[in-house]
Structure 1
Amino acid sequence: MNSIRLASWLGLTAVMFISFAAAAAPPKELFWDDLIPEGHEQISNQEAASHDGDDKNWVQPDLDAPVVKALDGKSVSLPGFVVPLEGNSEVITEFLLVPYFGACIHVPPPPPNQIVHVKIKNGVPIDSLYDAITVTGTIKVESHKSELAQTGYTMKAVGVAPFEL
């Protein structure tokens, strides 16, 4: 009987240790290419963008761009630039994270698999939209559509920090 209790205790201890180690694992560090499935030929109209007012220059390309389904539900960190959607003069609570400054505002939006819709519960101050940040949280493979763009991913952020090389 004692050996059964010992085996049960060791088994429970091992499960708790593995669970703790998994919970303590740092988020996976992503970069924008990681959001594009391997082998997909990405369409971008950023290079051809102009500000002459022609509507075709503001059309979001490749609305059916595929996403990386294996990322769904993963804890990740991703650098990028903020396009504010919700908040006040002190903090923002909802924004688009994009790979380059001016996306969705000064040039056409990138394809949906290159935009992440981010929500952060208590908001975060953003000092300058010109500065890159790194967002950490749980990424979901799900679309979100706003006036500015359609996204291929959403994220519940738990942290935002200045981007560091």
Structure 2
Amino acid sequence: MAAAPAAPLLGLPDENGFADLDWSRMVPPEDFKALEDAPPVLHVGNQRMKQVGTLHTVAALDGRKIRLPGYVVPLETDDDGRMTEFFFVPFYGACIHVPPPPPNMLVHVRLAKGIDTPSLYDPVTLKGVMHTQVTENAMAASAYAMDGATIEPYRNDDEERLRRAFE
């Protein structure tokens, strides 16, 4: 029996060349065992929890134009209080008091120009060129980075069509 074909790394690119990326595709297959054994994500209490996982990356993502839904964890602001640097994470509240996602499921983002910080609990879409680059600070380590990226409100057209169908 032949093996099933591997799922594509990215979705189809849009007119500007940005393709959807699923968070799970950022983790090399050999690292999935560590994710299965990770502690549960708890959104209670105020104790920081230890980050698990590795800095192993998927080399084919380096230099690719991607679109990724997720949440912002602010790191730096400019003199006007506008966010200039953040971690981008797959679930809300990550890096605050729950265990941070594995380093290969974290993107360190530096913006060319500060923006108003979005709500930590509202999903957004990150667009930019992905790089395999390690960043480590007191909060967490990340294995991916983007410079000059943009964020926009998250939209799920399938969910929106389904909601309208039942109105």
TM interval, short-chain normalised: 0.7 to 0.9
Return the offset for 1:61.
0.6
Amino acid at match of 1:61: V
| Corresponding residue number in structure 2 for 1:47 | 40
Q: Is residue 2:70 matched to residue 1:80?
A: yes
Aligned residues: 140
1:70 to 36, 52, 60: 60
1:91 shift after superposition? 2.1
Per the alignment, do residues 43 and 50 of structure 1 end up closer, same or farther by CA in structure 2, a change over 3 Å counting? farther
Letter in structure 1 aligned against 2:152: A
Q: Secondary structure at the match of 1:43?
A: helix
Residue type at the aligned position of 2:137:
S
Please state how far the C-alpha of 1:146 moved relative to its aligned partner.
Answer: 1.1
Q: What SS does structure 2 have at the residue aligned with 1:113? A: helix
Moved over 4 A (4+): 48-54
1:114 CA drift (Å): 0.8
| 1:65 to partner: Cα distance | 4.5
Give 1:127 deviation, angstroms.
3.3
Q: Which has the higher helix share?
A: 1
Aligned to 1:41, the other structure's residue is in SS state: helix
TM-score of the two chains, using structure 2 as the length reference: 0.73
2:113 is matched with which residue? 122
1:58 corresponds to which residue? 49
Work out the CA distance in 1 between the residues paired with 2:140 and 2:69: 19
Q: Distance in 2 between matches of 1:81 and 1:53?
A: 19
- Structure-2 residue corresponding to 1:15: none
Superimposed CA distance per residue, residues 47-78 of structure 1 (whole angstroms, 9 cap, x where no aligned partner)? 16585677xx711112x342101111111111
Percent sequence identity over aligned pairs: 35
Instruction: Could you tell me which runs of 5 or more consecutive residues in structure 1 were left unpaired when the two chains were aligned.
Output: 1-23
Gaps of 5+ in 2: 1-14, 157-167
Residues 110 and 42 of structure 1, relative CA distance in 2, 3 Å threshold: farther
Sort the Cα spacing of 1:87 and 1:52 in 2 relative to 1 into closer, same or farther, 3 A.
Answer: closer
- Mapped contact 2:41–2:99 kept (Cα < 8 A): no
Mark the CA change 1:162 to 1:46 in structure 2 (over 3 Å): closer, same or farther: farther
Q: What TM-score do the two structures reach when normalised by structure 1? A: 0.74
Residues 87-109 of structure 1 deviation map (CA, whole Å, 9 limit, x = unaligned) = 15652110000000111102011
2:29 partner SS: coil
Instruction: Quickly say closer, same or farther: Cα 1:102–1:42, change in 2 above 3 A.
Output: farther
- After TM superposition, the structure 1 stretch with the greater mean CA deviation from structure 2, 141-150 or 41-50, is 41-50
CA RMSD of aligned residues (A): 2.4
The within-5 A match list for 1:1-165 is: 25-44=16-35, 45-47=38-40, 49=42, 58-62=49-53, 64-88=54-78, 90-165=81-156
- The code of the aligned residue for 1:74 comes to R
